[in-house]
Structure 1
């Protein structure tokens, strides 16, 4: 259940306004005490702006390939559209002594940049 940001202020003020315990307020609004206190901390730190929904998307993706490697894979694919992930990986092995990703990683890079066509199995 998602609570609109405007309702959070009402929830946070309910214990004092209605003379209820935090546990009773949490039970009434079907939220956990942990959630209540995290929103209370956000409200105290940032005011009403802190109650706005936040993105859950991670700020970084530690497992993602470096940008220069992705650029190299994309560059090879654009110059040689018929080459697949295996052939591109073989070309990277031949061209560099640096870390070369697995075939599955090369394929993931191609997918991420929309450079892989649909297969028969995915046309359903």
Structure 2
């Protein structure tokens, strides 16, 4: 999450706290002047001394290990069943218990499906269960940039234009429909060509 650039405890603000502590200002004074608890600058100062500038960055709250996490073999089995049957988490959990003797809560099955990216049926090909192609988004830096271009193939526009160019019912419009590139009648027959030019 991005903080405000002038917030007191961004990495830059933490660095300023640590620099003041390094100059010999007591931690209690630094905390009082910043309006924060004494424990906070002490924590950042200790991290800064141990790890340098990288110690002032936010750390992830994710645990280093998850010993209670579902075994990957069971997760692979849940994924295979999902792709084969297209069942939801509740029915998958029931079938795992009834047919295979594996006890998992529906919420655990759902977490496995989310982790594998198959929690929505719209992301799976119905007949095969394979992952569908990822949607490609086009994003532009500025408003008004080119976002989308439609390309339409106009198949039978004759050379020089058709009736819109020459007018409805004119000799030039009738002649343009008979022969030439774009009409679909290139080299049709000599007789037809002769009739069109009369």
* TM-score (normalizing by structure 2): 0.47
Aligned partners of 2:88 and 2:80: how far apart in 1? 13
* Structure ID, larger Rg: 2
Shift of 1:114: 3.7
* Contact kept? 2:110, 2:119, Cα under 8 Å: no
Structure whose residues are more often helix by fraction? 1
1:122 alignment partner in structure 2: none
* Contact kept? 2:30, 2:41, Cα under 8 Å: no
The higher-RCO structure (CA 8 Å, 6+ apart) is 1
RMSD: 2.8
Change (3 A) 1:50 1:38: same
- 1:37 and 2:42 matched: yes
Aligned partners of 1:23 and 1:29: how far apart in 2? 10
Counterpart selection for 2:12 from 6, 17, 20: 6
Structure 2: tracts of 5 or more residues without a match: 1-6, 123-198
Structure 1: tracts of 5 or more residues without a match: 119-124
Counterpart selection for 2:66 from 54, 61, 67: 61
- Where do 1:1-124 residues align within 5 Å? 3-15=9-21, 17=23, 20-81=25-86, 83-97=87-101, 99-112=102-115, 113-116=117-120
Shift of 1:104: 3.2
Shift of 1:115: 2.0
